[in-house]
Structure 1
C-alpha cells in the first residue's frame, strides 16, 4: 500500500460523473443499491465560521461526497422555521431558514449535485406546520374561514388526552 504524504487536492476527490444521469433513466428501484448520506445542514460544514453550516457549505463539499460514493443526499427540514420542533415546525414552505442560505442557494446545490450524478431528497413535512405559519394563524383567527379546515380544532380537552402537546406555551391543544 502506498502512503501519500502530500496534502490532498480538491481534484483528488473528483470522480467523473456518469455520462447518463441517474434520473434520465427511470428506475423505480434505484434506491435499493444507492448510498444515502443524511446531511444535517447546520452541523455539516460552516464555510464562514458563523456557527452554522449552510447550503453553500454543503455545495462546496459535493466533490468529497461524490468521492465517498454518495448517490443521494437526504436533507432534513431546512425551511423557514422558529425551530421549536427541530425544524419540523415550518413557518413558510417557500423559504429557506436564513442561517442556511436562500432558495437560490438550494437550487444551486441541486444543480451542482445533479452534475455529479447525486440525487437530493428533502424531508418535506406538509402534514403539520408551525403555529406561526400563515395558514395556522388564519385558521386560528377564523375557524370558519378559507383555512379553517386546514387544522382540526376541538374544545373537548379529553378528546386527545394521550397526545403530547408540543407548544404548551402557545396552545393547550394539539393540531395537525
Structure 2
C-alpha cells in the first residue's frame, strides 16, 4: 500500500522492487540481543545490518514487534503504534529504519489488522459500551453463538467455537483465531478510519511495505 501523502526513501526508485527483492524474514526478539537480557531487540538488529547486507539481503520482513501480551507470539496486538518494551523503543525503531535505508535495505513490517488482543484499549472500551454504540461496534457481537455456524473453527485443539462469552458486555464476541483475539468489525467506518491511521503512521515513519 503506497503512502501518497509523503515522499519516502526508496533506494532505487523502482515501484516494482518487490518482484526481485531478496527478503529475509525475522522476529526481532529471536535475532540478536544487545543488552544480555535474553531477548532480541532493535539495537541488536541494527548492529547486525552489515552482516545481513553481506548476505545479499535487500529487504527485511519483520514479524510483529508491537506491545502485546504475547499469548500468540505477538499476533495479539494491544497497541498498534508502539514497540514492545522488550524490543526497545520507537526511537530505536527509527534508528534501525534509518540505518537499514542507509544500506539500501528496505523494511516490511507485519501488521495484524484482522483482530486485536482482548487487552487492547479498543476492546476494553467496546465491552463496556452500550450495544449499538460506535465503540461497541468496533467488534462483532451477538446475543447467541448461533450466527455463522458454517465458518470452520481454525484451532479445534484450543477452541470449541468462533464465539466467546464476555461477562462484562453480556454478549458473545466473534474471533476466527483464538478467543483472546477478538475480530475487528470492518463494517464500522470508525474501525476503517483508525486502521487507515495506523497504516499512515508506519508508512509515515518510512517503512517500505506492510504485510496485513
Cα offset, 1:107, TM superposition: 0.6
Aligned residue pairs total: 156
Q: Tell me which residue corresponds to 1:111.
A: 98
Deviates more, 1:158-167 or 1:42-51: 158-167
Q: Assess, with a 3 A threshold, how the Cα gap between structure 1 residues 73 and 170 changes in structure 2: closer, same or farther.
A: farther
Per-residue deviation, residues 89-129 of structure 1 (Å, max 9, x unmatched): 11111221110000000011000000000000000112211
Q: Assess, with a 3 A threshold, how the Cα gap between structure 1 residues 36 and 23 changes in structure 2: closer, same or farther.
A: same
- What SS does the corresponding residue of 1:59 show, helix, strand or coil? helix
Decide whether the 8 Å contact of 1:39 with 1:75 is kept in 2. yes
Deviates more, 1:90-99 or 1:138-147: 138-147
> For the residues of structure 2 that align with 1:66 and 1:167, how far apart are their CA atoms?
46
Per-residue deviation, residues 30-53 of structure 1 (Å, max 9, x unmatched): 111111001111110112221100
Q: Tell me which residue corresponds to 1:130.
A: 117
- What SS does the corresponding residue of 1:31 show, helix, strand or coil? helix
Q: Assess, with a 3 A threshold, how the Cα gap between structure 1 residues 42 and 119 changes in structure 2: closer, same or farther.
A: same
Structure 2, unaligned stretches of length 5 or more?
1-7, 176-181, 184-212
Q: Tell me which residue corresponds to 1:77.
A: 64
Per-residue deviation, residues 41-77 of structure 1 (Å, max 9, x unmatched): 1110112221100011000000111111111000010
- What SS does the corresponding residue of 2:95 show, helix, strand or coil? helix
Cα offset, 1:27, TM superposition: 2.2
> For the residues of structure 2 that align with 1:102 and 1:144, how far apart are their CA atoms?
37
Q: Tell me which residue corresponds to 1:152.
A: 140
TM-score, length-normalised on structure 1?
Answer: 0.79
1:18-167 superposed matches below 5 A: 23=10, 25-142=12-129, 143-161=131-149, 162-163=152-153, 164=155, 165=159
Point out the structure with max Rg over C-alpha. 1
Deviates more, 1:25-34 or 1:54-63: 25-34
Structure 1, unaligned stretches of length 5 or more?
1-20
Q: Tell me which residue corresponds to 2:193.
A: none
Q: Which has the higher contact order (CA 8 A, sep 6+)?
A: 2
Cα offset, 1:86, TM superposition: 1.6
Cα offset, 1:150, TM superposition: 1.3
Q: Tell me which residue corresponds to 1:5.
A: none
Cα offset, 1:146, TM superposition: 3.0
TM-score, length-normalised on structure 2?
Answer: 0.66
